[in-house]
Structure 1
Amino acid sequence: MAPVTVITGGGRGIGAATARRLATAGHHIALCYRRDDTAAAAVLADLHAAGAQAVAVRADTTDPDQVAALFDAAAQLGPLTGLVNNAGVTSRIGPFTELRVDDLRRVVDVNLIGYVLCAQQAARRLTDGGAIVNVSSAAATLGSPGEYVHYAAVKAATDTLTVGLSKELAPRGIRVNAVAPGLVRTDIHADSGVPDRADSAAGRIPMGRAGEPDEIAAAIAWLLGPDASYATGTVLRVSGGL
């Protein structure tokens, strides 16, 4: 029986790359996206071309009813085996003193509350051998001073969620890990007001370049798969040395 994986934030960037990689590896995919129908349709076409059964579900991961509907849609593909918690947002780069409350609430809602709601649904449905991978960030330990300290703080919460949930679910044979990317070449930088940040900030990375979504997807796929059968509660840093 093929694995069935829910991927949030699947219409672009790391989520889309992960969906394509997992489809090639034989997963059936429930692809969750927020608003870009065209992008989600393009990813879905690629998944079908790879031979996967897949559905694209437009859902707001901060809404518990929409999250439940997402996982119900995934159940039509078969018993759930995995979740990639990836849907995320930033806000404009700037000093901490200029942070707006509405931006703070949005970052917390999507990057923390959304992760919790999706993980909760997955925990209710996964059985022995299931796995959750949360997409965190190297910012969780770097702090992102002068850029978005609040985003870094929320990603630190992702790491704590990963550790705590891994211990709670381990007796049921369910693994929970996280991947912490560094600077990656995705569209998320447009949200920060610096769309070329992957290139402009590359000088601070020891490897001298930004990462590619496929490089993060490879780590996620490993953590979901049988080769990582003894890994749980781990935050795997994939950051070019940051």
Structure 2
Amino acid sequence: MARPLSPASRQRVTVVTGGSRGIGAATALRLARDGHHLGIGYATDEQAAARTAAVVREAGGEAVTVQVDISEADAVDRLFGTVREALGPVTGLVANAGVSGPLGRFTETSPEVMRRVVDVNVTGTLLCARRALREMSTAYGGSGGAIVNISSSAATLGSPGEYVHYAASKAAVDAMTVGLAKEFSGEGVRVNCVQPGSVLTEMHAKMGDPDRAWKKAGITPAGRPGEPEEIADAVAWLLSDAASYTSGAVLRVAGGL
């Protein structure tokens, strides 16, 4: 079986969804330092996405920003099409975009919140992976590449009393990672996943508890929350040639939790 071209022999062009802030923004900067050009997908905050793009350019990469609701197939197609036209063939995807809804007991979580979480975290991640695979798979004329999905330690902990629906959606991300890795590794695309623990991002405030990351430090063996850059380092390794024999991995980066 012919081995696909190493990304090192061509320009890396990576799409990062949810790239305007937090883990996504840290990952975009880390990848720019590794020589990637970045397609930065964002949901609403155009200014934050522009700031991420500016930092990427300062680090030596090229960047394009695209507003996208990843739960809509047409929007995902537009994201990848725009990135390809502006930066060249896509070689990687970091499927980072996700939502949780407010913290609370499961019985008090509205069906609307549950549906939106599944639409974005499950359907949206599947749609992004599908489009990326059509870009990169050798069966579709691509030259190979890599996908890294962003899951959560909640996928195995269940998050009782906080957001069981979110935990369930991230367990689905883990499952799709394993399945897609088995289906597409023979077509030159590696698929892996990172499971962050509690990380210092704005997501906690959106859930309704800005101090949640530090509250979780008490049950985390490391005794502290993670930094977005620590998650970005794990993603960068999985996208790199150093991980060339790694596919189907679910890498927990959660301070021992």
Please tell me the TM-score bracket, short chain as reference: over 0.9
In the other structure, the counterpart of 1:135 is 150
Q: How does 1:71-82 map to 2 (within 5 A)?
A: 71-76=80-85, 77-82=87-92
In the other structure, the counterpart of 1:33 is 42
User: Deviations along 1:131-172, whole A, 9 cap, x unmatched?
Assistant: 000000000000001111111011000000000000110110
Superposition RMSD on alpha carbons, in Å?
A: 0.8
User: Deviations along 1:88-144, whole A, 9 cap, x unmatched?
Assistant: 111111111111011101110111111011000001001344000000000000000
Post-superposition offset of 1:191: 2.1
Equivalent position amino acid for 2:172 in 1: A
Structure 2 residue 101 is matched with structure 1 residue 86: no
Work out the CA distance in 1 between the residues paired with 2:191 and 2:135.
14
Work out the CA distance in 1 between the residues paired with 2:40 and 2:82.
10
Runs of 5+ unmatched residues, structure 1:
none
CA contact (8 A) 1:89 1:191 kept: no
Post-superposition offset of 1:207: 0.6
Post-superposition offset of 1:173: 1.4
Work out the CA distance in 2 between the residues paired with 1:83 and 1:197.
29
Q: Secondary structure at the match of 1:231?
A: coil
Work out the CA distance in 1 between the residues paired with 2:252 and 2:215.
21
Give 1:95's match in structure 2, choosing from 105, 116, 119: 105
Work out the CA distance in 1 between the residues paired with 2:158 and 2:60.
41
Equivalent position amino acid for 1:53 in 2: E
Matched residue count? 242
Post-superposition offset of 1:224: 0.5
Work out the CA distance in 1 between the residues paired with 2:207 and 2:170.
16
Equivalent position amino acid for 2:88 in 1: G
Post-superposition offset of 1:17: 0.2
Equivalent position amino acid for 1:185 in 2: L
Structure 2 residue 62 is matched with structure 1 residue 53: yes
Structure 2 residue 110 is matched with structure 1 residue 122: no
In the other structure, the counterpart of 2:12 is 3
Runs of 5+ unmatched residues, structure 2:
1-9, 137-141
Q: Secondary structure at the match of 1:201?
A: helix
Work out the CA distance in 1 between the residues paired with 2:216 and 2:93.
31
Structure 2 residue 30 is matched with structure 1 residue 15: no
In the other structure, the counterpart of 2:118 is 108
Work out the CA distance in 1 between the residues paired with 2:75 and 2:135.
16
In the other structure, the counterpart of 1:187 is 202
User: Deviations along 1:4-34, whole A, 9 cap, x unmatched?
Assistant: 0000000000000000000111101000000
Work out the CA distance in 2 between the residues paired with 1:237 and 1:35.
29
In the other structure, the counterpart of 2:3 is none
TM-score, normalisation: structure 1: 0.98
In the other structure, the counterpart of 1:224 is 239
Give 2:227's match in structure 1, choosing from 212, 224, 242: 212
TM-score, normalisation: structure 2: 0.93
